[in-house]
Amino acid sequence: MSILLDETTRVLIQGITGRQARLHVSYMQEYGTNVVAGVSPGHGGEIVNDVPVYNSVGEALAHHRIDITVLFIPGIAVKSAGMEAIEAGIPHVHILAEGVPHHDASLIIETATAKGIRVVGPNSQGIISVGKAKIGGTGGPVPSRIYSEGPVGIIARSGGMGGEIANILTRNGIGQSTFVPIGGDFLVGTSFVPLLELFEKDSDTKAVVIFGEAGTGQEEAAARMIKDKQFTKPLIALIVGDSVARLPKGLSFGHTGSIIEHDVGSPAQKRKLLLGAGASVADTLADIPALVRAALRA
């Protein structure tokens, strides 16, 4: 099994006629992703990689059922595209762009939440359910170089570091179920907790690795979830960003979500709370395979 995405999921690509979208749609299709339609205003009637293109989301929905829309849209234009998808009722809106204005991200997330629509991102690399399907740039042109099928879910605030975790697990003979990079922006639609809830219900995921950073209270919320027995599977965490904790208060370095305020967001505090809740905490990337193996044997 997997979460959020598999080979049957019907995917719409907004911005499909752009250069990056054309490139990554081909990679997605080669991996098994069911891309059913694309949207690009003014390009209705065109075909991209055997995918029909429509002028609007509404027009695409008149011809296709859609489960996820992926926005290959620049940050400044995400508000318009995201709100169009939400108003059309697409159940999962996936935002790849970094640098979406906070006001725009807030409006998208608030509106989607009120309508029961899931938003992943902004600043998410994509999703891969290993051996089934992928969206966005996750895995690049040859995902099998990094990802292998198995029982370990991965959630990361950084797409690149989540890929590094998958890679080191694969090199040590440990496969993965689904990897979700949630994005490192200050405002993101889906955090660790709702994804842990999905992994808890996934019978084929036996353990989860999370990659956390300085800033926000997401890892602290995950620790409370474990402590309250709402997530009962083994959780292994790597939390980085100690250098950020030494910066002047309120200063961000790296992702826009890396601001530490009022002692919330400190990597040391995150590690302490996760350990106290019963999670395993890695000191380095190299420690993760042994911790995962021990968790799977337990």
pLDDT of 242 = 80
pLDDT of residue 60: 98
Paired sense of beta strands 126-129 and 133-136, if any: antiparallel
User: DSSP label at 131?
Assistant: T
**Per-position pLDDT tens, the chain of length 298:** 799 999 999 999 999 999 999 999 999 999 999 999 999 999 999 999 999 999 999 999 999 999 999 999 999 999 999 999 999 999 999 999 999 999 999 999 999 999 999 999 999 999 999 999 999 999 999 999 999 999 999 999 999 999 999 999 999 999 999 999 999 888 999 999 999 999 999 999 999 999 999 888 899 999 999 999 999 999 999 999 887 666 566 555 554 545 555 556 789 999 999 999 999 999 999 999 999 999 999 8
What's residue 160's pLDDT?
Answer: 95
Residues marked as catalytic: 255
Q: What is the pLDDT at residue 255? A: 47
Contact status, residue 188 vs residue 198, Cβ threshold 8 Å: no
Residue 71 has a pLDDT of: 98
Do the beta carbons of residue 180 and residue 250 sit within 8 Å?
no
**Structural domains present in the chain:** 10-120 (3.40.50.720), 146-297 (3.40.50.261)
149-156 and 92-95: which strand pairing? unpaired
